[in-house]
Amino acid sequence: MHDWRAEINRLEGAYAPSTIRSYHSDLRAYETWCVQQRVDPFPASPRQVCEFLEDNGRDACASTVQRRLYAIRKAHRLLRLPDPTHDEDINLTLRRIRRMKHIRPTQAKGMTEAFLLEFIASEPDRPTGWRNRAMMSLGYDLLTRRSELVALCDSDVEPAEGGTYRFLIRRSKSDPFGAGRVAFCSHRTTRLLDAWRAWRGPNTWLFCPIYQNKAIQRSLSDTTVKRVIRAAAKRCCADPKIAAEFSGHSMRVGAAQDLLKRGLDTAGIMRAGGWKSVNVLARYLENADHNPWL
């Protein structure tokens, strides 16, 4: 019996928690499929992996199928078993699935500055509202992922020239070893942060939960960021379909689109948001209301 769960748990500290959760989820899906097919999950043959991918490809998107392949590969390596995932039949199966799935990846709706100001204004005038206003405004200014935003500590903030703040984003999806990047916030965000921190008092975490009108000494979950943005979108957007397009990624998308419209070049936008790939950035910018010929 091969205990893949114990092996995946050994990755703690070496991989992001979200990556480890994905491995667990994808390998459970693979294990369930193997039980249904009455085959042992490990070690797997190339043919067995191909059949699993083909079955998944009927309902799941191509990126999900590929992610599950990576999970199977990682499990075999951790279990010190022969890796079946580099067989040429695996590559052919993935290509067939990609050609069959002509669905473009869904991009979160950008929380551009116009939406941001509406969302901030819609927050109630109480501690949760003060926190949410500062959090959305800062996420927009720093072009952060939600995981980066909730990981910020008070020690990552210091005064900058002009009466604003300088932030050190210590770790991100594209910077797993914590080289970090420096970013700055606007005067608007500075005012909102000062109001929030004045009520919050001393705390390790820049943004924290509130319980019984008291700030709690722990970080927010990244799902809280998504809930805050979607709740604001529901309050401000008359069309429920538009409101549903917002997510925790909307701050990063909207800020990048605004920078493009303000005339910042690709290198500048990549530097501001910590992007390593031009192709990835292009997906963020394609829905920007920007015609280069006008």
Pick the closest to residue 115 from 222, 229, 191, 225 (CA basis): 229
pLDDT bucket at 264, cuts 50 / 70 / 90 = confident
CATH class in words for 4-100: mainly alpha
Give the per-residue pLDDT at 157: 95
**Helices 113-122 and 127-142: crossing angle, nearest 10°?**
170
Give the per-residue pLDDT at 59: 86
What are the pLDDT digits (tens) for 143-173? 999 989 999 999 999 999 899 999 999 866 5
Q: Which residues pair with 157 in a beta bridge?
A: 167
Angstrom distance (rounded) from CA 14 to CA 11: 5
pLDDT for residue 197 is more than 60: yes
Q: Where are the domains of the chain?
A: 4-100, 113-285
- Mean pLDDT, the chain, whole residue set: 89
| Overall fold of domain 113-285 | hpI Integrase; Chain A (1.10.443)
The residue count for the chain:
294
What are the pLDDT digits (tens) for 74-133? 999 999 999 999 999 999 999 999 888 665 566 788 999 999 999 999 999 999 999 999
pTM over 0.95: no
121, 122, 127, 130: CA torsion to nearest 10: -30
